[in-house]
Structure 1
Amino acid sequence: MEKVQPPDIMDDLYENKVVPAENNGDNAENEKTTFNIEKTCLKHVLLAMTISGNYNPCKRKKYGILITIYRILILVAILAFTAKTISGFFYISDKDFFGHGIVLTWNVSCLFMFLLTLRMNHSSFGNQERTFRFWNTTIGPQMEKLGIKFDRDSFRKRQIFLCCAGAGFITILLLFSALQLTGILGSGNTAMMTTPFENTPFTCFLQMILIAACGFQANIPALYMVVIFSLLTRCFRGFNEYLHKKMCQDACRLPQTIQKIREFYTDLCKIVKDFDKDFQYLLGNLCFWNITLGLFTLYVLLHVNDGSLGLIAIMAYTFWLFLSMAIVVIVSVFAALVHEAAHAPLDSIYYINVQDITVEKLAQLNLFLSKLTGTQVGFSTCGLLIITKEFILTIAGVFLTYFAVLYTL
């Protein structure tokens, strides 16, 4: 008997599992498609989330306990960094108070981000796992059935690129910290002080661990949201191309499959809403603390810098300013792209030829239009407002106005 070689397993949007069917004489399907977005589209970013302690990929209890212990250690590290920064106020000079305040703000924002990610992954309070299941059982099969294109290879490359960029940024941050702690790059950055402890090899090593823990919390959840936003944007754009193609086939007449098209769009909007139930708190925390940090840093650079700050301190403040602004802008841009792509089908709907349209199709069309125009599909900050391109212009206006006021004082 010849030895049968197992088929190659390809990373794809779904996993193919062959299920034997009974020989009943008809052409019954003998292959069942099972989608798994966690192991394909989000594989690398969820690995980064696991390393940062913000995700538990292990469904088995014994491995879940190890992840829980790992998360507790990260929480202890963030709390220790926060406590060390607070106690440092009693030992530093007056000129370092502003820098220490920036570090404390960063510590608190990282702590809140970590707690919110724990809530997001909790089975009772979070919606992430249920959203993944809905994607695997509904969105993925519908995309395949309708023939909606999704460039999996391109998305996988973008996901890997983003993960590498995040890892590279954290590596640079740790390298910069090590150079300052060893005195090679000078001093003046209060984030690198081991105060209230003496600067010894052991305290420097602990400081590096604390900086790494907070560095992961400050960047990896934002990276995760950017990947999710990019995924949803591509799905909406694929749907828009499919809808435009359907509209152009028959002189812009309403497609026969308008009900299935509308149902898929509604399910895709439900995915956005379910993700937003968790992301709205992450986005609110990210925007509040980073905008506060950016405005405070700008105040220090323009109003407090009277020549007492050294070159390294000015470089550190400038780094904090651009980092806080960059995080808000990058995450907001990707969130705004989801909103734009979700409402793009209106451009195709308005050109529909309604001549000789039936009552049933007209009802489906009205339902489709009410979904497109009646509600804002997108991600919000604590449920207060949807992140759009206008939101980004508002944030830019706040910074420019604040800069102008400080500069004239």
Structure 2
Amino acid sequence: MKVECIAFSEGQNAKTYVTIEERMKPLLVSMKLFGIYFDPKQDDNTSGQLQNGRKRIPTRILAFIGHRQYCYMVLLLLWINFFRVIVGIFPPNETLPFRVLNMSWYLQCTLNVSVMVFSCQKLSQLRSFYNYWDSLYKHNVTNQIGCGFKCPVKYLMFATSGGWVLFFINIAAAFTILFGNLSTSKDFLDDMLQPFPEETWAVALQIILHVISSGAWVFPVIFLAVISRIIKDQFFIFRRILSKQIQEAGDHIPHCLPELRSRYMQLCEAVIIINRTFKWILGTSFFLQVFMACFNLYQMINRPQEMFTLFANSFWLGSGALIIILLTRSSSDVHEAAHSLLEDIFHTGTKNATTELLGQLNLFVSSLTGRSTGFTVVDFFVIKKEFLLTMAGLFITYFFLLLQFKI
């Protein structure tokens, strides 16, 4: 008995296919504004078109036209600012805890930009993921078995809008503390500008750096969450098609099992490729966000603060916790979706199965029960749902230690 694979309406052929990069355009444009993202191929094409035009543009001017150069300049500026903040820690005084917290936040933002710019430049990372993903979903067989590419447009728009909301709240809180004529405003401004004097040019430069850093703090996390959601949805599409084929096959192995297994393995390979970028974002985010959240909690419990400053610290503490939860949940969802097919595979019938189909079934089971598929923290471990409980236990324990012993 043979069960034919059915093509569903969500499949697209190569002529009408819209690339994953094009579908994510609202988010990628937002990232480009802050110098976090660029397309090296687009810059190369722009340079070639300008050079081949009627008026030849001088090489020095042409070098600064591409968005790649803008990202490099932003990255250089952020690293210079980070070293400026390190110098500003000295000499230590009663505001040292805030300066350490400020330094950690700028380090987080700078590392986020460094990872994204390096990933955009290195063709084996983001560019390789885009090409691999598009080649998989342009393929006719992928569409014929009903596993066409579906992009969660509503989630993408919601996530991008949420990133902008968090960005503007962070900017508004910082501006209010700096220029709100609060009792802590002058000390806060002095610590932010160290070791520079409190002059107009220094304040203007600090505002620009804080705006760029705020975008670098938020949007790489949104980027990871959106990619995770897209990958998770595709794994669940595979599961839905596989479950339907198993039910229709009855006691037999579905005829299209080899095609499903092949496409599933290619989707797992896409996760491995994008993990080359995400493992560094996850590693630096978990380490620094946990450190800043604990340090901020210490400040709130052990240092007297006026109402607005307490509110601002609560916002930053909550934002750090939100980022940790979003990163953990998004990454663990990919792992769960990738291994969700195992339950359906166990219900596959084997009556009158050929040697080839039995081999395909065994390979499918081996891939689902073998190495874990998902995003890692610098290749140390795959993020699963249990990791969120570990993080929650860490914060709860630290919170009660602070309350009990006033450390």
Give the TM interval when normalised to the shorter protein: 0.7 to 0.9
CA contact (8 A) 2:13 2:138 kept: no
Instruction: Using the TM superposition, give the Cα deviation of residue 248 of structure 1 relative to its aligned residue in structure 2, in angstroms.
Output: 1.0
The corresponding residue for 2:319 is 323
CA-CA distance at 1:238 after TM superposition: 0.9
Name the residue aligned to 1:169. Answer: 166
Q: Offset at 1:84?
A: 3.9
Output the CA distance in 2 between the equivalents of 1:177 and 1:203: 16
Aligned-partner Cα distance in 2 for 1:212–1:282: 20
CA contact (8 A) 2:331 2:375 kept: yes
TM-score (norm 2): 0.85
Q: 1:13 to 1:158 in 2, by over 3 A?
A: farther
**Hey, what's the Cα distance between the residues in 2 that align with 1:172 and 1:358?**
61
Which residue identity does 1:128 align to in structure 2? Answer: L
**C-alpha deviation, 1:385, in angstroms:** 0.6
Q: Deviations over 1:187-212 (max 9, x none)?
A: 35837843444545543332221111
Aligned pairs (5 A) from 1:223-238: 223-238=222-237
* 1:275-305 deviation line (CA, Å, top 9, x unaligned): 1122111111111111111122222333x32
Pick the aligned partner of 2:178 from 178, 181, 187: 181
TM norm structure 1: 0.84
For residues 8-407 of structure 1, what are the structure 2 equivalents within 5 Å?
17=15, 35-40=18-23, 42-57=24-39, 58=42, 59-60=44-45, 62=47, 65=64, 66-90=66-90, 94-123=93-122, 126-141=124-139, 142-148=141-147, 150-152=149-151, 155-184=152-181, 187-188=184-185, 190=188, 193-251=192-250, 253-302=252-301, 304-305=302-303, 307=304, 309-407=305-403
Matches of 1:162 and 1:185, distance apart in 2: 33
- For structure 2, the residue ranges without an aligned partner over 5 or more in a row are 1-9, 48-61
Deviations 1:101-128 (A, max 9, x none): 101001112222221112211235x411
Cα offset for 1:91?
6.8
Cα deviations by residue, 1:297-317 (Å, 9 ceiling, x for unpaired): 222333x32x3x333433333
Mapped to 2, the partners of 1:279 and 1:88 lie a distance apart of 31
* CA–CA distance in structure 2, aligned partners of residues 199 and 183 of structure 1: 16
User: Is contact 1:13–1:37 with CA below 8 Å preserved after alignment?
Assistant: no
How far did residue 257 of structure 1 move?
1.0
Shift of 1:95: 3.0
Answer yes or no: is the 8 Å Cα contact 1:252–1:352 preserved in 2.
Answer: yes
Q: 2: distance between equivalents of 1:82 and 1:364? A: 53
Of Structure 1 and Structure 2, the greater helix share is in: 2
Q: How far off its partner does 1:74 sit?
A: 1.3
Distance 1:229 1:64 in 2: 35
What secondary structure sits across from 1:387 in the alignment?
Answer: coil
Measured in 1, the distance between the counterparts of 2:249 and 2:154 equals 36
Give, as a single letter, the amino acid of the residue that structure 2 aligns with 1:362.
L
| Structure-2 separation of matches of 1:300 and 1:68 | 39
- Counterpart residue number, 1:4: none
Counterpart-to-counterpart distance in 2, 1:260 and 1:314: 57
Counterpart secondary structure, 1:39: helix
Give the aligned length. Answer: 375
CA distance in 2, matches of 1:196, 1:95: 16
Equivalent pair of 1:13/1:35 in contact (CA under 8 Å) = no
Q: Contact 1:14–1:37 at 8 Å: present in 2 too? A: no
Distance 2:12 2:85 in 1: 47
RMSD: 2.5
Q: Is the 8 A contact 2:335 2:384 kept in 1?
A: yes
Aligned 8 A contact 1:240 1:345 in 2: yes
Change in Cα spacing, 1:213 to 1:14, as seen in structure 2 (3 Å) is farther
* Conserved 8 A contact 1:88-1:195: yes
Mapped partners of 1:51, 1:340: distance in 2: 34
Extract unaligned runs of 5+ from structure 1: 1-11, 18-32
